[in-house]
Structure 1
């Protein structure tokens, strides 16, 4: 079932990427020099689909990193609760052993 659902998602997504790449294959120059737009010192010429897909990937990575940092206190609390539960289980085992 999982392989079927993966195929249902991955195959259409792959086809969309291929169609997108074929439709946007003309070259664009991305400049990283805000002061000189005519002859920039740092510029890259890439196909448009590479620029757009790379931007989307970087956005997903940045969002994931932001979410990971935002949820740090929940992970810390979960580790603390797990340690407390481990300690209480050990204490319970000792009390059961002493009672029997």
Structure 2
């Protein structure tokens, strides 16, 4: 339900905006990578402007994802450590429980009248 709501309220308007930007920015633009000789054709790329817009958005998403991944590394490491510790303590609790049951079984003494 929430996923459908996100699709309707966020993704569809974003898609519409991207389509409008693509249609409005169809003219070719030259990206010159040589700042000293911009007319150099070896280090230049000509493409429609919306291609550069999409590449910028994709690059920003990748860089943002990587930054988030690396910044949350300490939290993932802590979660792994605590999960291992929880398993260790559950194993110890099971051992102690079985030990207590064994002791209780041995301690059962018949009651004499």
TM-score past 0.5 threshold: yes
User: Against the structure 1 CA distance between its residues 65 and 45, is the aligned structure 2 distance closer, same or farther, given a 3 Å change threshold?
Assistant: same
Equivalenced residue count is 100
RMSD, matched Cα: 1.5
Counterparts of 2:91 and 2:4 in 1: how far apart (Å)? 44
Runs of at least 5 residues in structure 2 that lack an aligned partner in the other structure: 102-113
User: Against the structure 1 CA distance between its residues 12 and 4, is the aligned structure 2 distance closer, same or farther, given a 3 Å change threshold?
Assistant: same
Name the structure 2 match of 1:54.
Answer: 55
Question: Runs in 1 of length 4+ with deviation above 6 angstroms?
Answer: none
Report the TM-score, using the length of structure 2 for normalisation.
Answer: 0.80
Using CA pairs below 8 Å that are at least 6 residues apart, which structure has the higher relative contact order?
1
Report the TM-score, using the length of structure 1 for normalisation.
Answer: 0.89
Runs of at least 5 residues in structure 1 that lack an aligned partner in the other structure: none
Quick check: 1:43 aligned with 2:44?
Answer: yes
Displacement after TM superposition at 1:40 (Å): 4.3
For the 8 Å contact 2:32–2:39, the answer to whether it is kept is no
